Structure 1
Amino acid sequence: MHIVHNPPSPTPRHLLRTLACAAASVLLSTAAMADTWPSKPIKVIVNFPAGGAADQIARAVTQPLQAALGQPVVVENRGGAGGNIGGEAVAKSPADGYTLLMSSGGMVSVNPHLYPKMPFDPVKDLTPVAAAARVLVFLEVRPTLPVNTIQEFLAHLKANPGKLSFGTPGNGSSPHLAAEMLKTQANVFAVHVPYRGAAPAMQDLLGGQLDFMFDPGIGLSHVKAGKLRLLAVGSAKRSPLFPDVPTLDEVGLKGFDADTWFGFYAPAGTPPDVVTRLNREINKVLGTQAVKDRITALGGVPAPMSPTDFNARASIDSARFGALIKARNIQGD
């Protein structure tokens, strides 16, 4: 007879020791990675087309960030689906600190309200790294429109329901939500023309194919050149660039605030030390005069903050924009 001796079952103490060793191994490897990070180029995916506010802010920040990190930081544009295509690419990338996302806050705070079946969960699958800028929207009209003030514009809109058109970077973008706020609070109607990005919408406004637009800042040079007429700011406060231009709140649309926070995200599970280092370096970059000037030229305001504060801001925006999206029955592209 051949007797088979089964090995003794591990005791709870052995199991605990094994688990403790495994956990220590993970912590040590994570710490080691954080110590050697970055050891190769970093990719920043911008989830909107080139030329828009997210793209310009990303390039303003990543250029000096390269010097701070000692590695190339490469920007790659992956627009589409309201930012979801680029967001998904980052959410499903390795959580090693070498793939980041630069996005408007709308992808986290707005898109879940627009798209019932997103291919990823931006709250669970991404981790906030650093805010970059508070981006204002500027109500601009083609210069041939027969209005000179925001009061005249609102009266003209009311007298011509459905005859004026406005462009946006896409359904649910901050310029689109700003226009929907305007339509709701002023009780007016205009035709929405969504584009794939702010830059092509701006080109059609300049070309006279559109009547007005809430501009995230890329058209301000055209305002200064007299090619567009700036009537109001869709922010809670006046813009430092145009202190004489009123806010929509001031002209009677009480509580009007369409500001959004643009910033950097990483895949969930990215080592905390890497996130901390990125946050510190990005905040330093935002404090430099050159980057301040580039963001200010877009009409934005540099907004350095901790990942926790950035995440809290997204939660606040999710509540206020979610209510608007539901009330206006806005859906994603």
Structure 2
Amino acid sequence: MALRKYALPTCVAAAIASLGLAGGAHAQGYPARPVTIVVPFAAGGSSDILARAFGASLAQRLGQPVIIENKPGAGGIIASDYVSRAQADGYTLLFGTIGTHAINAVLKKTLPFDVSKSFTAIGRLQDGPLVLVVHPKLPVKNLKELVDYARANPDKLSYASAGIGAISHLGGELFKSEAKVDITHIPYKGGGAAMPDLLGGQVELMLETIPNTLSSVRAGKLRALAISSEARSASLPDVPTFKEGGLSGLNVTTWTGLFGPAGMPADVTARLNAEITKIASDPDYIKRIEATGSEVAKPMSGDQFAAFVASEVTRWRKVAEAAGVQPE
């Protein structure tokens, strides 16, 4: 009986110890097979291109293939939901964006997941600054002249967006608020759909991503006045930031980041975050990302990235409410 009395605690202790060893062994054996990164948008788009550039670099560092799987639909909700329900072992990850993890949380009344609880925030990957472009017919050469012109001509200017709730819409509303100007919003069904009217002068300005405007700016068909990032863009180095132009509240980027399902092992998350940090300093990777008009984000820890995402939800909810945009 004495033996049986003391054998049970010993077995329990051994079992607990073995579980602890198993938990600590995750990162040592990870990854033992290919890793899949799910992209919420179609192949060939800007998110897909950025994800594939990152995936190629991550595969080199992990020593395992990284498979890019496109699951477009519902503004990124389909892919996000898929990853939120996946096994939390680090083999199914999500290429998340400001749209999937901030804008959707603001503009959708219900989601099949909770952006703050259903995912493990692993790290921030890239930033895509917006550029304020105007039609050359406007008699303005810089941001100050545009603000002065808009104030002198209230309600006579209009700005295009990719649609209600798009970052080009919310960014435009933030610009109006920061600059204290009245400009009419003209929504389109996508950024590409807005370009013909912008180039034709039917609408005078737009806050849009650099890839969608760069060729027109370089051809002189549009005039770039300001960049929404903290520092000037390598793609448009002569264009000052909004902060340089006196509007410090317009630090806006269409960021991307790596997420996994909630409950991922901490050591696997830490391994992936460490690889993101190393990749961010690789000159070849930086060159590939900058060639797309985006920038490599300053590395963050997983906790810092989670806090950043939460702050983005709060920020854009305030902008949407001020603009009268109601969740659907």
| TM-score normalised to structure 2 length | 0.81
The counterpart of 1:114, out of the listed 107, 116, 126, is 107
Residue 135 of structure 1 is matched in structure 2 by 128
Tell me by how many angstroms 1:142 deviates. 4.3
The counterpart of 1:255, out of the listed 234, 244, 249, is 249
Whether contact under 8 Å (1:296, 1:302) holds in the other structure is no
1:94 aligns with 2:100: no
Whether contact under 8 Å (1:233, 1:245) holds in the other structure is yes
Classify 1:280/1:238 alpha carbon distance in 2 versus 1 (closer, same or farther; 3 Å): same
Classify 1:200/1:88 alpha carbon distance in 2 versus 1 (closer, same or farther; 3 Å): farther
User: 1:84, 1:302 → 2: CA distance?
Assistant: 24
The counterpart of 1:36, out of the listed 12, 23, 29, is 29
Determine helix, strand or coil for the equivalent of 2:33: coil
1:126 aligns with 2:119: yes
User: 1:332, 1:52 → 2: CA distance?
Assistant: 26
Whether contact under 8 Å (2:107, 2:326) holds in the other structure is yes
User: 1:243, 1:271 → 2: CA distance?
Assistant: 41
Classify 1:90/1:234 alpha carbon distance in 2 versus 1 (closer, same or farther; 3 Å): same
Tell me by how many angstroms 1:39 deviates. 2.6
Classify 1:95/1:201 alpha carbon distance in 2 versus 1 (closer, same or farther; 3 Å): farther
The counterpart of 2:184, out of the listed 186, 190, 198, is 190
Q: Which moved more, 1:312-321 or 1:48-57?
A: 48-57
Residue 288 of structure 2 is matched in structure 1 by 294
Q: Which moved more, 1:55-64 or 1:30-39?
A: 30-39
Residue 267 of structure 1 is matched in structure 2 by 261
User: 1:42, 1:238 → 2: CA distance?
Assistant: 34
The aligned amino acid for 2:65 is P
The RMSD of aligned alpha carbons is 3.5
The aligned amino acid for 2:129 is L
Residue 239 of structure 1 is matched in structure 2 by 233
Residue 217 of structure 1 is matched in structure 2 by 210
User: 1:206, 1:276 → 2: CA distance?
Assistant: 46
The aligned amino acid for 1:277 is R
Cα offsets for 1:24-47 (capped at 9, x unmatched): 565455455544322322221222
Classify 1:154/1:39 alpha carbon distance in 2 versus 1 (closer, same or farther; 3 Å): same
Counterpart mapping for 1:292-331 below 5 A = 292-297=286-291, 298-331=293-326
User: 1:31, 1:204 → 2: CA distance?
Assistant: 58
Tell me by how many angstroms 1:256 deviates. 2.4
The aligned amino acid for 1:119 is P
Tell me by how many angstroms 1:139 deviates. 1.0
Residue 164 of structure 1 is matched in structure 2 by 158
The counterpart of 1:47, out of the listed 40, 58, 61, is 40
Tell me by how many angstroms 1:120 deviates. 0.3
Whether contact under 8 Å (1:133, 1:304) holds in the other structure is no
| TM-score normalised to structure 1 length | 0.80
Structure 2 unmatched ranges of 5 or more: none
Tell me by how many angstroms 1:52 deviates. 4.7
Structure 1 unmatched ranges of 5 or more: 1-10
The number of equivalent residue pairs is 321
Determine helix, strand or coil for the equivalent of 2:80: helix
Cα offsets for 1:203-223 (capped at 9, x unmatched): 775677764332233133442
The aligned amino acid for 1:116 is K
Whether contact under 8 Å (2:126, 2:294) holds in the other structure is no
Whether contact under 8 Å (1:52, 1:218) holds in the other structure is no
Classify 1:21/1:322 alpha carbon distance in 2 versus 1 (closer, same or farther; 3 Å): farther
Residue 6 of structure 1 is matched in structure 2 by none
Tell me by how many angstroms 1:254 deviates. 4.7
User: 1:153, 1:231 → 2: CA distance?
Assistant: 9
Classify 1:72/1:203 alpha carbon distance in 2 versus 1 (closer, same or farther; 3 Å): farther
